Structure 1
Amino acid sequence: MGSATRPWLKPALAAAVLVGAGVAAYAFLNSGPAAPDITFTGIKGERITPADLRGKVVMVNFWATSCATCVAEMPEMVDTYNRFKGQGMEFVAVAMKYDPPNYVLNYAETRQLPFKVALDITGEAAKAYGDVQMTPTTFVIGKDGRILKRYVGKPEFAALHQLLEKALKG
């Protein structure tokens, strides 16, 4: 018996596919691995703990002052942070282990970076996030503490903003 004898079958199948796609999209947004439970050390010695970030959408950006792509994308990262900070987003820019702390501090101060800047002196943070070696590498973490997306290289900012909007509503 084909769909010609059951005219309701095609709309029912279409509805099932759409519902399934919606569930899959929701599951995708909520099924990534848990973000590492580590404490970052800010450029002024302050501790940025997992408790400080819990319940927020968080961007963790691994970068270096010697990375041309990192430096080029930083104004867009600042714009992204300024656009979403009032909606519950937090941002931690983590300087790589090989980046001299005085370079990082100087860069953060002269560019007036508005978000948290951390030093990964031992390389522990990069290792915890899957042994990050390429910069920039940016992680978007949902309110539930799960990694929603990993970007290696400069993100496509329009798509990143859509992801952040969706995550902040969830």
Structure 2
Amino acid sequence: MARRSVMLTLALAAALGLQACSPSPQASLPDLGYTRLDGSQHKLTDLKGKVTLINFWATSCTTCVKEMPDLVATHQLLAPKGLETLAIAMEYDPPAYVMQFVQSRQLPFQVAMDHTGELAKAFGPVQLTPTTFVVNKKGQVVKQYIGQPDFKALQALLSDLLAEPA
């Protein structure tokens, strides 16, 4: 019964978009590679020097699907100022579903598949979607959201980080 209570509490926290504590703020980006849907190879550490929004999501997650237009709007608003956005689909998400979702919604930012779950493990691990991380220009995680964030507050935080010197 206690386990069920904990699971319900976590689900409620995710639904309300409450901030979680793991990983600790100021944790640096892990030195892991990833492959974008276009096939290009990258490393998370390549994002150092840029303010980055990293969103773990799944096509089967209703909150993820619901927040995606806000994620797109945030990217479109702040990309001209230097924001990078990386959406990472969870390992259990079928690649064909991810490709169809990205194409049908014309997502304007980087999208990658976490085929092995290694990326999600390195970030805490990520167990609930959506989970979003804000990374500063030093490559440090400064904020984590589990569930849908308050996008006005998120945009304000990102704007402040973008205005900071590198």
TM-score normalised by length of structure 1: 0.80
* Deviation per residue, 1:56-104 (Å, 9 max, x gap): 0001100000000000000000000000001111000000000000000
Task: Tell me which amino acid in the other structure corresponds to 1:160.
Answer: L
SS in 2 for 1:109: helix
Q: Please report how far the alpha carbon of residue 51 of structure 1 lies from its aligned counterpart in structure 2 after TM superposition.
A: 5.1
Name the CA distance, whole Å, in 1 between partners of 2:76 and 2:124: 28
Q: How many residues align?
A: 140
Match of residue 157 from structure 2: 163
Match of residue 146 from structure 1: 140
SS in 1 for 2:54: strand
Name the CA distance, whole Å, in 2 between partners of 1:42 and 1:107: 14
- More contact order relative to length (CA 8 Å, sep ≥ 6): 2
Match of residue 56 from structure 1: 50
Name the CA distance, whole Å, in 2 between partners of 1:51 and 1:73: 26
Task: Tell me which amino acid in the other structure corresponds to 1:41.
Answer: T
Name the CA distance, whole Å, in 2 between partners of 1:143 and 1:134: 26
**Residues 85 and 110 of structure 2 are in contact (CA less than 8 Å); yes or no, is this contact kept in structure 1?**
yes
Match status 1:89 vs 2:83: yes
SS in 1 for 2:119: helix
Match of residue 25 from structure 1: none
Larger radius of gyration: 1
Match of residue 114 from structure 1: 108
* Aligned-residue identity in percent: 50
CA-based RMSD: 1.1
Name the CA distance, whole Å, in 2 between partners of 1:55 and 1:44: 23
SS in 2 for 1:130: coil
**Residues 57 and 131 of structure 2 are in contact (CA less than 8 Å); yes or no, is this contact kept in structure 1?**
yes
Residue segments in structure 2 that go unaligned for 5+ positions in a row: 1-24
Name the CA distance, whole Å, in 2 between partners of 1:113 and 1:123: 22
Task: Describe how 1:40-79 pairs up with structure 2 within 5 A.
Answer: 40-50=34-44, 52-79=46-73
Task: Tell me which amino acid in the other structure corresponds to 1:149.
Answer: K
